[in-house]
Amino acid sequence: MPVFISPSVWNGKFTNLKIGKGSFVGRVEMHLHDRVCIGRNVIINDGARLLTASHMVDDVDFRLVTGPIVIGDYAWIAIGAILLPGVSVGAGAVVGAGALITKDVPDYAIAVGNPARILEKSRPSGLRYSPLQSLATFEAWLGKDGMPEHLIHDLIAG
């Protein structure tokens, strides 16, 4: 299987979601009111929330605003992290547990906190691990009742 997607909460259109090969998506909440592009070999842990829409609080009509979320290859979105509309997480970047991402995270940067701040240390470039290397362990833990195969095929981006 080229990706692993756990049972999750999905709102919006699946056509807005593209996932690169080798990525692992835990039990997440994804709002697909705009595009979500997930690169190759990405890890998104349980409890993460990807929000592509919000409301204009200073608008008398409380209009909906949307923005895409882009996650680069080898990024890691840790447990309970929240990504707001219009943000990008760079290649190899880490979004720490419980972090609130309101601005773009550069390649290989480590973002932590609420609101998130970028740490001085960073990840090495040239990452080459495979999040699905331990797929048998994950399936034993979560079961094989994840996303239906026909939907997975439609979500995979080259």
Best CA proximity match to 38, nearest among 78, 68, 7, 66: 68
**Residue 15 neighbours by CB under 8 Å, 6+ apart:** none
* 55 assigned to active site: yes
Instruction: Please tell me whether the peptide bond between 115 and the residue prior to it is cis, using omega within 30 degrees of 0.
Output: yes
Question: What's the CA dihedral at 112, 105, 82, 23 to 10 degrees?
Answer: -110
For the stretch 64-96, what's the b/e string if a residue is b when 16 or more beta carbons lie within 10 angstroms of its beta carbon? eebeebbbbbbbbbbebbbbbbbbbbbbbbbbb
C-alpha to C-alpha distances, 158 to 59, 83, 136, nearest whole angstrom: 40, 24, 23
Residue numbers annotated as active site: 55
